[in-house]
């Protein structure tokens, strides 16, 4: 029998346009970040097995909000408070889209940079990159921000279904080699929200970081 998905029942909590609007930093958080259109929302939805949890967009980069989702506490632990949450998943605004005013770019840097560098309860960062266009300048920037505070970081190479197996595997090895060369300890996997390839592993990494029951903390 398949183990129950620890993210079942995850629900939308709130959107924050500024860091001051974030809830108190008492619960563990895992954030999803990446180039706009990389597949962040699709990955979040697949991990939570909830098709419409995070909005999948046709027009990339329009919203500059931090969206937070609550992962429910296991029923046994929640006891009399069935709405209690164990941690949060955080969908950060995407980067790298063309045609946005300088002010929007600056705001993105303040919002996402501030969150990734300073959020005390952030346990790990999932960085999503289209497997056909990995490691852009802003991807490296994200990896530097997380590296600067020794934050665990795991890369999902998304839209794996767009490449044949050989090309996808070559892309994976190429990204791993570049990270190794840069002295980075970041882990990488292939992922597809369409075929669900890599979903179980990604879920285990996130669950491990959040300390959810039954998942080894070192997953990944």
Footprint of Mg ion (CB under 5 A): 40-41
Q: In whole angstroms, what is the distance from residue 216 CA to residue 220 CA? A: 9
Which residues neighbour 187 within 8 Å (Cβ) at sequence distance 6 or greater?
A: 153, 154, 155, 205, 220
Binding segment toward ligand GTP, per CB under 6 A, in 4-12, 22-30, 37-45, 170-178:
37-45
Q: How far is the CB of 74 from ligand GTP (least distance, A)?
A: 28
Which string of DSSP letters, residue by residue, matches 48-88?
A: TT-TTSSPP-SSTT----EEEEEEEPPHHHHTT-TT-EEEE
Q: How far is the CB of 183 from ligand GTP (least distance, A)?
A: 27
Which residues neighbour 100 within 8 Å (Cβ) at sequence distance 6 or greater?
A: 61
Q: How far is the CB of 60 from ligand GTP (least distance, A)?
A: 4
88 vs 159, which CB is nearer to ligand GTP?
159
Torsion of CA 151, 128, 170, 150, to 10 degrees: -10
Q: In whole angstroms, what is the distance from residue 145 CA to residue 93 CA? A: 16
Structure tokens at 191: 């992922």
Give me Rg for the CA atoms of the chain.
Answer: 17
56 vs 84, which CB is nearer to Mg ion?
56
Residue nearest Mg ion (C-beta atom): 41
Residue nearest ligand GTP (C-beta atom): 94
Q: How far is the CB of 209 from Mg ion (least distance, A)?
A: 20
List the x/- string, 88-127, binding to ligand GTP by CB under 6 A: ------x---------------------------------
Q: Does 193 bind ligand GTP (CB under 6 A)?
A: yes
Q: Site residues (CB under 6 A) for ligand GTP?
A: 34, 36-42, 56-57, 60-61, 94, 158-159, 161-162, 192-194
């Amino acid at each position: 029998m398949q183990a129950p998905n620890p993210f079942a029942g995850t629900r939308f909590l709130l959107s924050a346009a500024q860091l001051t609007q974030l809830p108190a930093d008492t619960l563990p958080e895992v954030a999803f970040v990446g180039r706009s259109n990389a597949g962040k929302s699709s990955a979040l939805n697949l991990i939570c097995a909830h098709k419409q949890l995070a909005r999948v967009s046709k027009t990339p980069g329009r919203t500059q909000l931090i969206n937070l989702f609550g992962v429910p506490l296991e029923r046994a632990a929640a006891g009399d408070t069935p709405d209690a949450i164990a941690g949060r998943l955080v969908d950060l605004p995407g980067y790298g889209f063309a045609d946005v005013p300088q002010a929007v770019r600056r705001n993105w840097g303040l919002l996402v940079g501030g969150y990734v560098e300073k959020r005390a309860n952030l346990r790990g960062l999932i960085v999503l990159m289209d497997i056909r266009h990995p490691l852009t300048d802003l991807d490296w920037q994200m990896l530097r921000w997380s590296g600067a505070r020794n934050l665990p970081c795991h890369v999902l190479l998304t839209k794996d279904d767009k490449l044949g197996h050989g090309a996808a595997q070559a892309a994976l090895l190429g990204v791993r080699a570049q990270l190794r060369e840069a002295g980075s300890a970041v882990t990488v996997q292939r992922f597809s929200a369409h075929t669900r390839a890599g979903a179980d592993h990604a879920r285990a990494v996130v669950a491990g970081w959040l300390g959810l029951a039954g998942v080894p903390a070192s997953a990944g």
